[in-house]
Structure 1
Amino acid sequence: VYPVDIDGALQSVDKIKGHIDAWWTSGAQAMQLVKDGEVDMASIWNGRAGTLKKSGAPVSFSFDQGVLTADCMVIPKGSKNKDLAMKALAKFVSPDLQANLPLYVDNGPANEKAFETGKIPPERIKDINSAPENVKKQVLQDPAFWRDTLVEATEKFNNLIQQ
């Protein structure tokens, strides 16, 4: 997938843009478009799709060809409580604590060992983006690529959809 051919991708968008009813700008807007039946399909965050599904909206979703994004936690250089912060971060990413996350939200644990704790009900696993079987169906976003490309790609995309 990487490096992404931005110009080629934009050519593909140009071919279909006349069939796009809305370019959503927030997760809430994407949910509303789906819920109101204003769109036939959407690219939407799994947490938003899961919320729609739980609310009774007639939707289903798949992780096939999805994009997994990463996030990070940081401790600023020179922090006065570095050791305590390191202990806190270690606790935050521990399998036992991470296994609680999908009990409350549709985002999955970052630590794959959370799935081995037995805390996550088997029926929940199919809807969790970071479940091992779902990870195999997705591509991991390349932050270095987007660090170097995002501003220009976004500008080109915005110009294209405004034409």
Structure 2
Amino acid sequence: MTQSMWFPNGALPLGWEHYLFGGLCLGAGVALLFVLTGLIGGMSSVYSTTWSWFVDRPFFQQSSLTGSRVWRVAYAGGLIIGAAAWFVWSGQPTRVAVSTPTWQLFVGGLLVGYGARLSQGCTSGHGICGLASLSRPSLVAVVTFMATAFMTANVMWRLVGV
């Protein structure tokens, strides 16, 4: 598998600038959140925090979840609003054709959610916030995420040419 197989002439399909801009915005956003409030902005906690409004089980009623649900839901809402603003501003299409069956997306979401809770954080929490704070567990988590992604991509490429 060569880079030219994925991208003609080794170039990214839409250029590299918007990836750099997006990375800078993510870094600035989590840095500002931490500097201004002392809060760490991972996203997997939003799921559990949101459920804390509806589920009375002890796990969901931990003070760390119930005490942070307002800002976490606002944080997630900001990401959604930011994405919507980007689509409006950039003129990019807002619909994406997905050829994957809904049940596979659902199962994949459950597995990713379970893995995020198992590793005590998601890729954004460990990869952006954890690495920025020089957290060793986050480094281990990110290396594990990336190794698994590389292996999965290579297996899928060899099995079905995807």
Same fold (TM over 0.5): no
Q: Could you tell me the TM-score, scaled by structure 2's length?
A: 0.30
